[in-house]
Structure 1
């Protein structure tokens, strides 16, 4: 059974990409080539929410993730930005759903609505649901990013 680590992070930097990279660093997922997948949790996956991801292999490896992310620009008037991932699991396969916005309660509600719709499409037994959010106040004059990632297992060599 592989572990899927769920971690969030925030970052502030002078460019959009560097703020995103700083948010990945806050989650300890900045040294991998991220391969984004849609939303299905394998039946044998075990989720673990962590403050930051453990070492998942050498820098430069590829790492499979589901990712929620948002970036506010230097002129943003938002009081906060939020991104999150929610999951629905049971004894078999499960689902992830991600959303972003400027209202944490609205983001969580959208995630829960999306999970409900996804579960209705499938004939799976779903017994547990949860949500993990990252929220940050934008910094004037800088790019500000928030991420939540679900990292599937260990990284693998890209070459």
Structure 2
């Protein structure tokens, strides 16, 4: 059984990319090449919200993720959310749903609404949902970025 770790972070920077890279560093996943997948949790995986990632392998490796990430300009907030539900009793697959925006309460609500819609499309029984929201602090003269990322297992060599 593998573990999917939910990590989150936020940062400010002089460019959108610098802010995003800083948010990834705050979450502990800045040294990996992220490969984004859709939103299905494999039946053999369990989800664990950890905040900051442990060592997931060598620098430069590929890391499979589902991510919500938001970036905002000067003095604007950015919020990212990731909601998830595993199968009832942990005996089957589950789902993630990510969303972004500026208002943390709205982002949380939309993430849970999207998850509920995804659950309705599947003939699976689900446990109660979980949700993680990360919101930036407003900082004058900088871009802000927030990320919430589900990191699947450990990293793998990219070449």
One fold, TM greater than 0.5? yes
Tell me which residue corresponds to 1:110. Answer: 110
Instruction: Supply the distance in 1 between the matched residues of 2:119 and 2:66 (Cα, whole angstroms).
Output: 17
Equivalent residue runs for 1:26-45 within 5 Å? 26-45=26-45
The Cα of 1:97 is off from its aligned counterpart by: 0.2
The Cα of 1:137 is off from its aligned counterpart by: 2.1
The answer for unaligned runs of 5 or more in structure 2 is none
Instruction: Supply the distance in 2 between the matched residues of 1:109 and 1:51 (Cα, whole angstroms).
Output: 21
The answer for unaligned runs of 5 or more in structure 1 is none
Equivalent residue runs for 1:13-28 within 5 Å? 13-28=13-28
Tell me which residue corresponds to 1:87. Answer: 84
Deviates more, 1:124-133 or 1:32-41: 124-133
TM-score, structure 2 as length reference:
0.95
The Cα of 1:138 is off from its aligned counterpart by: 2.4
The Cα of 1:31 is off from its aligned counterpart by: 0.1
Equivalent residue runs for 1:63-142 within 5 Å? 63-74=63-74, 76=75, 78=76, 80-90=77-87, 91-142=91-142
Matching of residue 154 in structure 1 with residue 154 in structure 2: yes
TM-score, structure 1 as length reference:
0.95
Q: Check conservation: 1:135, 1:146, Cα contact below 8 A.
A: yes
Q: Cα RMSD between the aligned structures?
A: 0.9
Q: Deviations over 1:93-151 (max 9, x none)?
A: 00000011111111111011101110000001112210011011221110110000000
Instruction: Supply the distance in 2 between the matched residues of 1:5 and 1:92 (Cα, whole angstroms).
Output: 17
